[in-house]
Amino acid sequence: MTSALCSLAKVLMALAASTGSPVTNAIAVGPTNSSSRPSMPASEAARLMSVFLATA
């Protein structure tokens, strides 16, 4: 997991805790390869996060 995605997860967990929403645990299913490219580039994750925060 990239640093940006870790940061995104921390922000979402903090937001869920502050709003009283339950935090759901996600479990990855399927083959993983640590040397493969991330499924979402950090720039895309940042864009989605900014849209989420702007509409929350």
Ramachandran assignment for 20, one of left (phi > 0), alpha (psi -120 to 50 degrees), beta (any other): left
For residues 15 and 22, give the distance between their C-alpha atoms in angstroms, rounded to a whole number.
Answer: 10
Torsion of CA 47, 50, 55, 15, to 10 degrees: 120
pLDDT digits (tens, 9 = 90+) for 20-41: 655 566 666 666 655 555 566 7
Q: What integer pLDDT is reported at residue 5 of this predicted model?
A: 76
Token pair belonging to 54:
């702007």
User: Where do the domains of the chain lie?
Assistant: 1-21+42-56
Tell me the two tokens of residue 21.
Answer: 């929403």
Question: 56 and 15 in contact (C-beta within 8 Å)?
Answer: yes
Percent of the chain with pLDDT over 70: 50
- Which pLDDT value is given to residue 17? 65
Question: Does residue 13 have a pLDDT over 70?
Answer: yes
